[in-house]
Structure 1
Amino acid sequence: MSKEKMSSNENEKYYSGEELTDSHPSDPNDSELKKIKSMYLPDSKADHAPSEKSIEDANGLEHPEPVEPKSLI
């Protein structure tokens, strides 16, 4: 392998800025955003607020079942 340095003219020959193109498309349109949101966002709840039970489940806590009040008779 040659360890010679290239002159700046030779570098320009290989790396012309005119040949580079913008690889990123323009901003996504509304239909693309809806498609992405439907793929990645949960739709189980409209407000996306977790329930008390789901928080307890996620933290490994036990949630007691509601107790029926005993009759006074």
Structure 2
Amino acid sequence: MQRARDIEGSRSQLIASFGFVFDHLEVLYDLDVVVREFAQSRGLDYHRVPMPNDHDRVVAALARTVGRGLPEPRT
């Protein structure tokens, strides 16, 4: 939030969370409530990049990653 105070001449902020790939209470509250209120109290528009959640490509990438870590099936 300190950086938002230092931005002059900007009317709009685009926020992206890199800590999680799925909606998470911390993201939903901290960004969508606290940071949104902070931005709006200073006359800024607030926008957050949506989380990938259950997008097919994200699910497929996670499945491949997990699959690589599993042992080969015994026959």
TM-score of the pair, normalised by structure 1 = 0.28
Greater share of helix: 2
Task: Give the number of the structure with larger relative contact order, counting CA–CA contacts within 8 Å between residues 6 or more apart.
Answer: 2
* Rg (Cα) greater in structure: 1
Greater share of strand: 2
TM-score of the pair, normalised by structure 2 = 0.27
